[in-house]
Structure 1
């Protein structure tokens, strides 16, 4: 049951879509799950071997905080929109937590190594080009905490009474092992993120190549239509100019130049309304979504919605380019 619960949480988003954003969200899920187990094991270790209830309780709270984030992250739209802000806040919070425990353990338990784990987590969550200011801010916070904790006593922070002198070597060894584990996992997750980015780049190149091929094919189809309808280049330029200026005479002129187009659409589906036929005319001229939005003074989302309804009414498969389909008519 527990395994199914975790498996569902870390795979829920990836099953829905295969795009970069959702795969990256899935990767973040796995990272949060990793943090959950690391902190859980660490808190159990502290309470079992040293009996420090303060540290163990604090770590347990943080442990289940990761689980809480993991549970709500894919369910809450607000979380997804403010993901970067939450990540920055968590990194800063972890920095102060490391500083607290570094001093709490008498600066002799190797807690300072976790500063470097936090630093190496930054590339996984943030982009050096887009988030340079934020990264400098986080690095500044970590540096100030590290220097301040190292050179100032900060007597207002309580010191642990549970650690004996001989315990520090054991705790330091464990902290080194934990920090190496965290560091290694940071590298693994960064590598997986890079793999996703490289995959996205390849897909984008393939998509761009496909679009260019499609544009070339549509241009050839348009030339073929010009021959069939005995149109000249001047006729095409005229109708394009009318369409781009959203002229009220465009649709009438279009039907003169392409007299069989609208009737054939109505044969496929007689329920097509005027605005849908108008959009079909624009797509017949190979106007893309953005250009249609500009010509008709509509939003891109409204145009996409209209194209979706047209596709449904004409029974056009999602695998077929709607412009190519209409150009052939």
Structure 2
């Protein structure tokens, strides 16, 4: 249940055709927009428990606005709106952190917003927004520090139970958010490594194919290999176009060849290893081995025949 909710929040209104990095950025933006609203609402209800009706109304209205904006893609993906939201959040942190001294722990939210800005404004063109956010945080913190974080007054803000509750609540929220940021940092890191490894692997595959297939420079091997790696539905038509006699020759040996068998033969023709086939088709290595065994039976290939050399005869 929680997993479904999480997926709904992070994938709302995200274009499925976008590349993986664009989807990651959009997911972060979704979580940021949604969490701001939740944090404000929860903080409002917490303040209500301690008798701060005015601040409850303020936080409740702001939280509701942010949650409503969460469902509007254009507003959420507008950089200027994101910048204004972060700056307003900075002012909220400035106000509430300057009511009962530094010990209330609310200054931790500055670091959370700074980290958020690094994620949202993550291109060279958006660097000015990051600088503006960092400058705002620095100036507001210096002002609060000068007045010993006691600029504003809130009745009962010095309540010991309220202060302890506030510190714990702040720490938990910041901790959870940094954990989420860490998740996306690692996800992006692993995505970059995976794509880089795919590029290197595709280059090796293409080089091997060109070596094996003499005078085949007219074949669009780059796109062919890319489609195979991405398990693209256009791979089969592309392989038939690139190797026009392959399917007919296989049909001549086995007229009942299945689409699964032909796809496996096509991947073998491109010299994909068992591990490659399993990874790019999102199946286990054992499943690939089973399919190879069925292919041998279907085409009457003996166990001592190398499948890669066999497919090269077509």
Q: Settle same-fold status: TM greater than 0.5.
A: yes
Are residues 1:189 and 2:105 paired? no
Are residues 1:47 and 2:48 paired? yes
Determine the C-alpha separation between the residues in 2 that align with 1:200 and 1:221: 31
Gaps of 5+ in 1: 226-235, 237-283, 290-315
Are residues 1:174 and 2:165 paired? yes
CA RMSD of aligned residues (A): 4.1
Please point out which of 203, 207, 211 is paired with 1:216.
Answer: 207
Determine the C-alpha separation between the residues in 2 that align with 1:164 and 1:12: 41
Higher RCO (C-alpha under 8 Å, 6+ residues apart): 1
Determine the C-alpha separation between the residues in 2 that align with 1:124 and 1:26: 11
Output aligned runs, 1:36-115, within 5 Å: 36-53=37-54, 55-73=55-73, 76=74, 79-80=76-77, 82=78, 84-103=79-98, 105=99, 107=101, 110=104, 111-115=106-110
Determine the C-alpha separation between the residues in 2 that align with 1:200 and 1:194: 10
Paired residues in the alignment total: 234
Determine the C-alpha separation between the residues in 2 that align with 1:115 and 1:124: 15
With structure 2 as the length reference, what TM-score do the two structures score? 0.59
* CA distance 1:217–1:86, change in 2 (3 Å): farther
Deviations along 1:140-189, one digit per CA (max 9) or x if unpaired, are 1111111123325999x9743xx23752x333222212221222123212
Structure 1 residue 208: Cα displacement = 0.7
Residues 117 and 182, structure 1, Cα contact 8 Å, conserved in 2: no
Determine the C-alpha separation between the residues in 1 that align with 2:148 and 2:164: 24
Structure 1 residue 197: Cα displacement = 1.1
Structure 1 residue 96: Cα displacement = 1.3
Determine the C-alpha separation between the residues in 2 that align with 1:59 and 1:320: 56
Find the residue that maps to 1:164 and give its secondary structure: coil
When Rg is computed on C-alpha atoms for both structures, the one with the higher figure is 1
Structure 1 residue 32: Cα displacement = 3.6
Determine the C-alpha separation between the residues in 1 that align with 2:102 and 2:215: 81
Please point out which of 125, 132, 152 is paired with 1:137.
Answer: 132
* CA distance 1:183–1:129, change in 2 (3 Å): farther
Name whichever of 27-36 and 174-183 sits farther off: 27-36
Determine the C-alpha separation between the residues in 2 that align with 1:122 and 1:204: 25
